A = this chain, B = another copy of it.
Amino acid sequence: MIVDFAIFPIGEGESLSSFVADAFKIIEESGLPYEHHSMGTNLEGDWDEVMSVIKACRDRMLEQSNRVSIAIKIDDRQGAKDRIRRKVASAKAKMNEPISPLK
């Protein structure tokens, strides 16, 4: 499955990049395929793999902040692999096709 998540502390001021940096370290050390973007990070793996990375980011942030907000979006498609690299490419390829007919 592929998961987009964003995590940040509430009540630790307006600038959050040092908290995000801590999360990046945990994500990048996990070994899972990842894609950082300006509103979160996408991770690919099975349920337990991905959720243990998110939980590690949350546990770390709760050491430094009393309140943490997390948003997670999951796209779980059986039998699909390597989607973190292929989803955008797949839609891009369709853009060269003629406009899809209206229903």
A74 touches B72 (CB 8 A): yes
Q: A11 to B87: give the CA distance in the assembly, Å.
A: 17
> In angstroms, how far is the closest chain B Cβ from the Cβ of A89?
9
B37 touches A6 (CB 8 A): no
A97 touches B35 (CB 8 A): no
Q: A77 to B37: give the CA distance in the assembly, Å.
A: 17
Q: How many copies does the complex hold?
A: 4
Q: A11 to B18: give the CA distance in the assembly, Å.
A: 14
Q: A78 to B65: give the CA distance in the assembly, Å.
A: 9
The number of residues on chain A lying at the interface, defined by a beta carbon within 8 Å of a beta carbon of chain B, is: 65
- Taking CB atoms, residues of chain B closer than 8 Å to A58 are 47, 74, 76
> In angstroms, how far is the closest chain B Cβ from the Cβ of A56?
11
Closest-by-CB residue of B relative to A8 is: B10
Binary per-residue interface labels of chain A (18-54) against chain B in the complex, 1 for a CB within 8 Å, 0 otherwise: 1011101100000000011111101000010001000
